[in-house]
Structure 1
Amino acid sequence: MTTEPPALLPLLWLASPALPVGGFSYSEGLEAAVEAGLVHDEASTASWLDDQLHLGQARSDLAVVAQAVPAWRAADHARLQALNTWVLHTRETHELRLQTEQMGHSMLAWARSLGPAGATLIDALDAAHLAPPTWPLAWSAAAAHSGAPVRDCVTTLAFAWAENQVQAALKAVPLGQGAGQRTLARLVAAIPAAIDTALSLRDDQRQSFLPSLAILSARHETQYSRLFRS
């Protein structure tokens, strides 16, 4: 199903690097992987991000968004609170927990900055009583109000994640622009399968289990020299 322009434009906005939520300041463990020597060139970067997409994002945040968008549209606050709690309880390090809370808070601040245009989103977030709203839940609230199909919403977040990670790799590895675009192309080709996984998972199949990433993230919290907050 093709998204009509009225729904497509809000999704493009939500995928934009200009969205002021601070995503550029997080590498989600990539910088620590570079420090550990696990990521050091184009091939290792692409492999790392491909694994993170399929083993992490597809089974956790993307799966949450796939379930949250219909819940927002149904105003199912109990469901939204359960999903938000799951996200909070599956952040394995302090910095990853701070990331999801900060970006969720920034999403709410963005809605408030829009004035009347953001009122519907603010009302929805306030009514859900998420304490605090995490990034997947806050983002999915905005995506739900676009009217776009659920698959398009999840695909949008997957691309936004991939683009942000490639931008982080350009700085942290570092990579050249050409290598970054090839890495992004590989991720774009992998996203449809990741979306299939995210859409298919039941609550008892959703998971956030990346032990190596959790260890690297914990090390990153005390890493001497770093560019990113995670």
Structure 2
Amino acid sequence: MATAMTDTTALIRLMSWLSPVFPTGGFAYSAGLEQAVADGAVTNAASLHGWIATTLVHGAPWNDAVLLAEAHRASDNLDDIADLAELGRALCVSAERRRETVDQGAAFLDAAAHWFGPGALPPRETPLPVAIGAAAGLAGIDAEAALAAFLNTLVTNQLQCAIRLSVTGQTGAAQILAALEPSVADMARRAAAATTDDLGGSAFGADIASMTHETLQPRLFLS
């Protein structure tokens, strides 16, 4: 059963679970951004800001956020979590997208098991947002806080990719991170009250980039 915790403990745990050193391998994935750079769709800080802002609100991250919120509510029901995991895998628009979310979900669950008893967490083939939502729910972490941390991590991962792809430097990345803070907070608030009826997206350019990246050579990232 879910148990409440203090705000400080919840913050520390979210920082641990979503930090760059937590072994989920997020540094290896660009979620199609590498392809967007190769195609010339993202060339500088301004276009990078636009790409991340659009995909965050209208692309896969919104669906991930809804799945996380639903998993948080269903955290003590492994049958419901299994259904959400199946839905999460079905929503993946490309093989790389599926690999990204399932492999990171498995890695997250392996590491997060240190905080839980045997059998509490879902199986390893659970997509990352469902895995995080279930773990946060079981730990008694506030859903909106978990969503905000998750979405902010998605943004920071994209910015780290952009730095490695020489689209922007650290100062430019920090500026974009600051500018996107209100969008992250608003999206977390909306997703916390969302259900699977609210799933959907229209970031077709990001979806196509994710598909096309499967044949990109040479490349730095797995997606």
Q: TM-score, normalised by structure 1?
A: 0.88
Query: CA separation in 2, counterparts of 1:173 and 1:48?
Result: 15
Match of 2:36 in 1: 33
Match of 2:165 in 1: 172
| 1:107 partner letter | F
Q: What 5-or-longer segments of structure 2 have no aligned partner?
A: 1-5
Q: Superposed, which structure 2 residues align to 1:108-187 within 5 Å?
A: 108-112=109-113, 117-120=114-117, 122-125=118-121, 128=122, 130=123, 132-187=125-180
Query: CA separation in 2, counterparts of 1:98 and 1:88?
Result: 9
Say yes or no: does 1:77 pair with 2:78.
yes
Query: CA separation in 2, counterparts of 1:131 and 1:171?
Result: 29
Alpha-carbon distance change, 209 to 86 in structure 1, aligned in 2, over 3 angstroms: farther
| 2:169 partner letter | G
Query: CA separation in 2, counterparts of 1:70 and 1:108?
Result: 18
Match of 2:23 in 1: 20
Query: CA separation in 2, counterparts of 1:211 and 1:138?
Result: 26
Query: CA separation in 2, counterparts of 1:9 and 1:80?
Result: 25
| 1:26 partner letter | Y
User: Does the CA contact (< 8 Å) of 1:108 and 1:138 recur in 2?
Assistant: yes
User: Does the CA contact (< 8 Å) of 1:90 and 1:208 recur in 2?
Assistant: no
Shift of 1:213: 1.7
Q: TM-score, normalised by structure 2?
A: 0.90
Query: CA separation in 2, counterparts of 1:151 and 1:8?
Result: 12
Match of 1:89 in 2: 90
Shift of 1:131: 6.8
Q: Which runs of 4+ in 1 moved over 3 A?
A: none
Deviates more, 1:184-193 or 1:30-39: 184-193
Deviates more, 1:177-186 or 1:193-202: 193-202
- CA RMSD in angstroms comes to 1.9
